[in-house]
Amino acid sequence: MTNFSQLLTQSLERSWLKGSRLTWLFAPVLWPISKLIWYALRLRAFMHPESPSRPLGVPLLVVGNVFVGGVGKTPLVIALTLHFKTQGLQVAVISRGYSPKGKQSAREPRLVTPLSKANEVGDEPLLIFERTGVPVCVGTHRFKAAQHVLKMHPQLQLIISDDGLQNDSLSPEMTVCVFDDRGTGNGWTLPAGPLREPWPRIQGLHPSQRAPFQWVMNTGEQPKIDGFCATRRLAKTLVDAQGQRLTLKELGADSTGPLIALAGVAQPDLFFKMLKDEGLAIDECLGLPDHAPLESYEALVRRLMATHGPELRLVCTQKDAVKLWTLCPQALAIELEVNLPIAFLQELDRAVAQTLSERFGFSNPTNKAIIEQ
């Protein structure tokens, strides 16, 4: 059943991207459904919003996407957060996080702490917290999450939302819409295509949702959407749960046991390709679904240890490591480095500085310098 489900999913994704016979066969049904679903959701959001869209006490930057699934938002959020820290800004991140069924407490806003676990707050929020050290708040209601982190950290000057372009409770001053090499696929919205909403975007029905500053960021090697382009590459060192480091060159020269690559991300093949492009001889590539539960990692580690024993060498993404290290501390995680265009960062810094100064009355030496550039 699992293989059939995966096969069906892959066929659907291929039809979304290229437009296949499957797409055209069901187009007369899927296309009207796509339109009906979209307009029904927008009407519901307008008639019965969970909470009125209203600004927070600090600027809000939403980093999201219209293409369903992962497009590289979280590494971009990490890069932006670290950039703002170097600018001297007090920044926090909000995310939907992890909300297991039947656990009401998980739906309420909560701060990520050094003791948090991935199956409690989510792998991506935990990764953001560990990589940046800024306050990270998770909650299924993003506006409440933003309120909560502001209450706990009143000195904040900027909040970044990891995802949330389609969230009607948010009223961002700035948005970054992220695309990868898949662009907009066949250009249709769900279920006929891969888009959460039409592109170019139709602004929210509430005037407060029209962000004054908006950018497009491409994270792939072959950008298909007009906008800025980020470059991504693997770091030259890997690290295990104890903090011991190893270079890619040292890993490639080590032949004590099989080298297994593991990735539980939206597009694991991209990670495997990047490893091979670095010259690593990977014996086996294992992909897990994005946000795979801890149980999936447990089963995989048991199988690998039974097959390869202590000589097993396991390479994974940092996103996988926040779960995998509790089971296999010797696993080596490699960081994905994101470089953002200087022109984009300059525009973004000016927008943040202008918003802080004009709308919220903040004064910050770094921001003042940006405005005067």
Reported as a single tens digit per residue, the pLDDT across 295-347 is: 999 999 999 999 998 888 999 999 999 999 999 999 999 999 999 999 999 99
Q: Do 88 and 364 form a contact (C-beta atoms < 8 A)? A: yes
Residues of the domain holding 280:
232-338
In a domain, 293, yes or no: yes
Distance in angstroms (rounded) separating the CA atoms of residues 360 and 352:
11
Pairing of strands 332-339, 91-95: unpaired
Task: Indicate if 181 and 237 belong to the same structural domain.
Answer: no
pLDDT of 280-297, one tens digit each?
999 999 999 998 999 999
| DSSP code string of 221-238 | SS--SSSEE-EEEEEEEE
Residue 267 has pLDDT above 60, yes or no: yes
Task: Indicate if 253 and 319 belong to the same structural domain.
Answer: yes
pLDDT band at 55 (very low <50, low <70, confident <90, very high): confident
Distance in angstroms (rounded) separating the CA atoms of residues 156 and 171:
17
Domain count, the chain: 2
Residue 209 has pLDDT above 70, yes or no: no
Percent of the chain surpassing pLDDT 70 = 79
Give the Cβ contact number of residue 108 at 10 Å: 15
Q: Do 180 and 67 form a contact (C-beta atoms < 8 A)? A: yes
| DSSP code string of 14-77 | HHHHH--HHHHHHHHHHHHHHHHHHHHHHHHHHHS-SS-----SS-EEEEE-SBSS-SSHHHHH
pTM for the complete prediction? 0.89
Distance in angstroms (rounded) separating the CA atoms of residues 75 and 290:
14
In a domain, 135, yes or no: yes
pLDDT band at 255 (very low <50, low <70, confident <90, very high): confident
pLDDT of 312-326, one tens digit each?
899 999 999 999 999
Looking at residue 10, its pLDDT comes to 60
Q: In which region does residue 72 sit, left (phi positive, over 0), alpha (psi from -120 to 50) or beta (all else)? A: left
Distance in angstroms (rounded) separating the CA atoms of residues 246 and 1:
40
Task: Indicate if 259 and 333 belong to the same structural domain.
Answer: yes
Task: Indicate if 239 and 217 belong to the same structural domain.
Answer: no
Residue 2 has pLDDT above 50, yes or no: no
Residue 37 has pLDDT above 50, yes or no: yes
Greater confidence (288 vs 9) lies with 288
In a domain, 20, yes or no: no
Mean pLDDT of 164-183: 92
Task: Indicate if 243 and 332 belong to the same structural domain.
Answer: yes
Looking at residue 186, its pLDDT comes to 85
